[in-house]
Structure 1
Amino acid sequence: MKTWRRTLLATTLATCCGGCAVGPNYQRPETPSPAQFTREALPAATGYDEAKLQQLAAGQAIAQTWWQVFGSAALNDRVQRALAHNPDLDAAMAALRQAQENVAAQRATYFPSAQLNYTPSRQRDAVGTLAPTLASNATYYTLHTTQLNISYAPDVFGLNRRTVESLQAQAENQRYQLEAARLSLASNVVNAAIQEASLRAQIDATEAVITAQTRALDILHNQARLGYASGLDVAAQESALAQARQALPGLQKQLEQNRDLLAVLCGDTPDQAGAAQFDLEHLNLPVTLPQGVPSQLVDQRPDVRAAEENVHAASAEVGVALANRLPQFTLSGAYGGSSTSFTRMFTDDNIFWALAGSVSQTVFDFGALKHKQRAAEAALQQSAAQYRSVVLGAFQNVADTLYAIDSDARAFAAADDAEHAAARTLELTQKQQQLGYVNVLVLINAQQAYQQARIARIQAQAARLSDTAALIQALGGGWEASEKSG
């Protein structure tokens, strides 16, 4: 008989503990799967000569340390330093640990909780009014009480399971946010390095123009003294020189501010920025670029994965809201002893115990729980819509970058040709002006044209490097390589 009762009790408890989890089971939202990123197929190679050619390779994987494709040891060091010391990344790591600990804490409610309590007290009975409390009729006594309380809430309708599921999704969201922060940080460092190299080249170009125009002004001063140049020619050259000098402080300001940015990204203060160390000649333009596959983009982008986990968490919260509307079960037990002597608390006559079970059900709350469930369902719809928006934005990022790579390659080719043509024009104009065949205004125009062409070529060269970093970032940055290897 006792065996039958124990079997029945164990079966009942197992049924209560293993009940169904109410609410929707998570299903990954549908996402668009276009055949290609762009409206029309882009050229497989961009550029106009072998030295400046880039090819798009559809099957090329992205390395976790993708910034090494630029072939700069200084850049590699900066990115690694940023990943090790950036405070925003430290904050993201702490947020992940917090989310993981919240999951572990919630999982603990799968099991019974036990509390042990010991309470000593010194007391006196009001014997003039009440009968003595103790069997010995003592008025003064010290009472020692020790009690073990055990409570357990069977997860009949899956309230705790759905709560754990939601917290797990939130922890995964934080993990993907951490990967997105790493990718964004590495991209910011790479772009800042490219910007530094571009600004230094533009400053060098501007200083070269200033030097050339200063030399031309000296020649004009000599010619004016000899009567071969007019005061108007001298004034025009002075104006051109002043304009060139005016452009220099702005470029120098951008360079210093960019160096401050690099220092802060690496976790340093601006005074620790060190000397400028990046130039365009030592940043290699990768020969091959990953083109990416549209069907794989959703899995490769950490921000998309983070948005998906928001949907998962919202789905689980619907189950939590629904389970809160159903009966809640609780089992509890207590065992202890009480005595005026510490050593006799657990003798037969001083032991007490209790077993209890309870079921609670909200029967009237003016619709509070119903509206909370509807709010959770609306939150699920919101997160699903936000997820679709993030997915569409990811496809747009890749398409925009592919178009930029193609157009900026053609822009660089044109800027490179324009610089060579302007340099040749300036050289011929200088010779003609020295021989007196053209006036100084023609020379000034040639100088300004060359300056603009050279700076345009530098900017176009930097844009192609930035396009490479932007494409890798848009495709997810290779963070999943660490998952596969792990």
Structure 2
Amino acid sequence: MRLIHPRTPPVFALLPLISALLMAGCAAGPDFHVPQGPTAATYLAAQPPQTGAQTLHNTDAIGWDWWRVMGSDELDQKVEHALQSNLDIRAARARLEQVAHLTEAVAGHAKPQLSADSGLGRTRIGAAELGPDYRQTPPFSAYAGGLAGTFDLDLFGAIKRSVEQHQAQETLANAELDAVMLNVSAQVVYQSIRSASANSRWCIIAMLLDIERNRLTLMQQAMLGGATTQDEVDRQQRLITDIEAQAPVLLQERAAAENALAVLSGVLPAQWTESTLTLEDLVLPKELPLTLPSALASQRPDILAAQAHLQVASAAVGVATANRYPHIELRASLSEQGIFSGPAGIAWNAIGGLTAPLFDGGSLHAAQQAAEADYSAALAGYQQVVIRAFGQVADGLQALNHDAALSTASETALASATGSRDRTKKAYLAGGASQLQQLDAERELQSRRYQNVGVRAQRLTDSAALILSTAGSIAHPAG
């Protein structure tokens, strides 16, 4: 019998293993770095002059309870109830929980894996197993049971990058939750202002109708005495009809706002208790918080979401790069194997497996290039989100300034109409003015009040929009 000595494997057979060991620990890049944010110290090239009763104060963060600047307990309750009951928020929380569990699942791949294997069967060995000297063998029943373990060395960071990718997706889901919560709080405030404005304007419309109907009565009496004409009376009647036509529009606006509030609060409109909030119940904030430009990119949810998406794309490049390098996995098993009514014994094996791509038709390289292109697109998207965010803040600042100018003009006109009404009323009581003149002065005042309600509603809305444009997470109550 000739003794066969073990042969030394050819060098080329060891090349993949040698290359892998030399490059061990060098995870495929790139390492993610947060892009540098804008260095601008202000949101506008030329800061508009501050006019009116509102001023801005800089702050590092705006979060929970931002809506309290409106000074309404009823509004506070509506916002906080919606944040607890809104179904979109519940769905976003569930998605965040799902992604967190997926991150845990992927992270588990970096740890040793242990499984139990067992088998039971009846076998008859044939020529494919025994070769050309095959002889008839009887069938037999056998069993095997034991443990099997595997461990991926992850030399080039495919698992590490995959974990990073899922962690970034978790960050993305968290930012999306913040964005949903901010949007819900914003919509509750906007719709509440809309409903309150409709309520206030409805009250003014009712007063205007009383005035115009009284004027119509006086004009009809004057027509009997020949002091006015039928055309003037008809014109007055058409004016009343036009004012009456505004009532359904206001009622529909109020109904739409209340229905929206119901939906935001996660209830059916039929189950919603309509609010009695009027615009007079809301306070125009004298001081508005404004996040510093240097802090905006680090707290605004949409920017954080874009940043997380960029990290997801970066990790995908790492995974695609790692897939082009050898993959080494350690495997071992220990089991008992035996034949029924026959011998049994312990069997084990330990092996290191290496898989290295040699020719794949260019698919792996193409996948890496695709991931790199996706990263470039995500980077451009991130930069665009940052620029858009600064643009929204700039819009808010300019709107605030224009609202202040419009409010000043509206308040001046309202004060003038109030003074005119008061003087006419005194003159009427002294016999120096007619009842029709008194009604005309009252009509002018109520018309100015109606216009002023719209100006105040817009100013409240724009104030809220400016705060929201720089707000951060409101996922947790303050304190």
Q: Is the 8 A contact 1:401 1:471 kept in 2?
A: yes
- 1:87 is matched with 87
Query: Please, which of 348, 352, 372 is the counterpart of residue 353 of structure 1?
Result: 348
**Per-residue deviation at 1:367?**
1.0
Q: Deviations over 1:368-415 (max 9, x none)?
A: 111110111011111110111111111111111111111101111111
One-letter code aligned to 2:85:
H
- 1:97 is matched with 97
Q: Is the 8 A contact 2:61 2:471 kept in 1?
A: no
- What's the TM-score, normalizing by structure 2? 0.86
Are 1:378 and 2:373 matched, yes or no?
yes
Correspondence 1:231-270 to 2 at 5 A: 231-270=230-269
Q: Is the 8 A contact 1:46 1:406 kept in 2?
A: yes
Q: Deviations over 1:175-218 (max 9, x none)?
A: 11111111111111111111111111111111211111111112
Q: Distance in 2 between matches of 1:214 and 1:322?
A: 81
Q: Specify the SS of the correspondent of 1:400.
A: helix
Q: Is the 8 A contact 1:237 1:444 kept in 2?
A: no
Correspondence 1:406-417 to 2 at 5 A: 406-417=401-412
Q: Distance in 1 between matches of 2:473 and 2:104?
A: 29
Q: Distance in 2 between matches of 1:164 and 1:67?
A: 38
CA 1:57–1:107 in 2, change beyond 3 Å: closer, same or farther? Answer: same
Q: Using the TM superposition, name which of 394-403 and 331-340 deviates more.
A: 331-340
Are 1:334 and 2:339 matched, yes or no?
no
Q: Is the 8 A contact 1:74 1:277 kept in 2?
A: no
Query: Please, which of 360, 365, 387 is the counterpart of residue 365 of structure 1?
Result: 360
Are 1:46 and 2:45 matched, yes or no?
no
Correspondence 1:213-228 to 2 at 5 A: 213-228=212-227
Q: Deviations over 1:336-380 (max 9, x none)?
A: 1233459x9xx8x42222222221122222211111101110111
Q: Specify the SS of the correspondent of 1:115.
A: strand
Q: Specify the SS of the correspondent of 1:350.
A: strand
Q: Distance in 2 between matches of 1:221 and 1:445?
A: 16
CA 1:65–1:400 in 2, change beyond 3 Å: closer, same or farther? Answer: same
Correspondence 1:387-466 to 2 at 5 A: 387-423=382-418, 450=445, 452-466=447-461
One-letter code aligned to 1:264:
V
**Per-residue deviation at 1:455?**
2.3
**Per-residue deviation at 1:77?**
0.9
**Per-residue deviation at 1:292?**
2.7
CA 1:326–1:18 in 2, change beyond 3 Å: closer, same or farther? Answer: closer
Q: Distance in 2 between matches of 1:482 and 1:197?
A: 26
CA 1:424–1:214 in 2, change beyond 3 Å: closer, same or farther? Answer: farther
Q: Distance in 2 between matches of 1:226 and 1:436?
A: 21
Are 1:324 and 2:329 matched, yes or no?
no
Q: Specify the SS of the correspondent of 2:31.
A: coil
Correspondence 1:146-185 to 2 at 5 A: 146-185=145-184
Q: Distance in 2 between matches of 1:377 and 1:339?
A: 54
Q: Specify the SS of the correspondent of 2:349.
A: strand
- What's the TM-score, normalizing by structure 1? 0.84
CA 1:407–1:481 in 2, change beyond 3 Å: closer, same or farther? Answer: farther
One-letter code aligned to 2:458:
A
- 2:130 is matched with none
Q: Is the 8 A contact 2:103 2:167 kept in 1?
A: yes
Q: Specify the SS of the correspondent of 1:46.
A: coil
Q: Distance in 2 between matches of 1:20 and 1:480?
A: 38
Which structure 2 segments of 5+ residues have no match?
Answer: 1-17, 127-134
Q: Specify the SS of the correspondent of 1:237.
A: helix
- 1:20 is matched with 26
Q: Distance in 1 between matches of 2:417 and 2:258?
A: 31
Are 1:66 and 2:66 matched, yes or no?
yes
- 1:4 is matched with none
Q: Distance in 1 between matches of 2:78 and 2:191?
A: 10
**Per-residue deviation at 1:61?**
5.2
CA 1:478–1:355 in 2, change beyond 3 Å: closer, same or farther? Answer: closer
Q: Specify the SS of the correspondent of 2:227.
A: coil
- 2:4 is matched with none
Q: Is the 8 A contact 1:66 1:477 kept in 2?
A: no
One-letter code aligned to 1:198:
S
Q: Distance in 1 between matches of 2:396 and 2:69?
A: 17
CA 1:63–1:99 in 2, change beyond 3 Å: closer, same or farther? Answer: closer
- 1:8 is matched with none
Q: Specify the SS of the correspondent of 1:463.
A: helix
Q: Is the 8 A contact 2:215 2:439 kept in 1?
A: no
One-letter code aligned to 2:137:
A
Which structure 1 segments of 5+ residues have no match?
Answer: 1-11, 48-52, 135-140
Q: Distance in 2 between matches of 1:273 and 1:292?
A: 35
**Per-residue deviation at 1:295?**
1.0
Q: Is the 8 A contact 1:159 1:323 kept in 2?
A: yes
Q: Specify the SS of the correspondent of 1:28.
A: coil
One-letter code aligned to 1:90:
R
Q: Distance in 2 between matches of 1:164 and 1:300?
A: 24
**Per-residue deviation at 1:240?**
0.5
CA 1:351–1:61 in 2, change beyond 3 Å: closer, same or farther? Answer: closer
Q: Is the 8 A contact 2:424 2:438 kept in 1?
A: yes
Q: Distance in 2 between matches of 1:125 and 1:294?
A: 77
CA 1:124–1:63 in 2, change beyond 3 Å: closer, same or farther? Answer: closer
One-letter code aligned to 2:300:
R
